[in-house]
Amino acid sequence: MIICRCEEVLLRDIITSIENGAETLKAIKMETRAGMGICQGRTCRVLLEQAIAPYTDITIQETNNIMYKNPVRPISLANLSRSGKDSSQ
């Protein structure tokens, strides 16, 4: 069953990555690309938190602390440079 629609990541992939030693939400995301798609996790972020809940002792409250960074929406590089900002600012 697909969990991350954007990156076509299956529940199985997420569980496998936990079994292979991924210990944080970030590690799972890096390994599976879940939550890294064009919607920036708007559809799957809550699902990822729920999927890993049985495997971790991290509570949902903590998993999400200050996760968002600008830009929160996909924008073209041209527009980013026109506005004089980069995402690391």
Q: Which residues bind another protein (CB under 8 A)?
A: 1-3, 5-8, 11, 37-40, 42-44, 46-47, 50-51, 53-54, 60-61, 64-75, 78-79, 82-83, 85, 89
Q: Is 28 helix (H, G, I), strand (E, B) or coil?
A: helix
What tokens were used for 5? Answer: 């629609």
Separation in Å, CA 59 to CA 8, 18, 28, 42, 52 = 25, 16, 16, 19, 10
**Binder of residue 35, out of another protein, ligand FES, none (CB less than 5 to 8 A by kind):** ligand FES
- Stretch near ligand FES under the rule CB under 6 A, chosen from 19-27, 39-47, 54-62, 76-84: 39-47
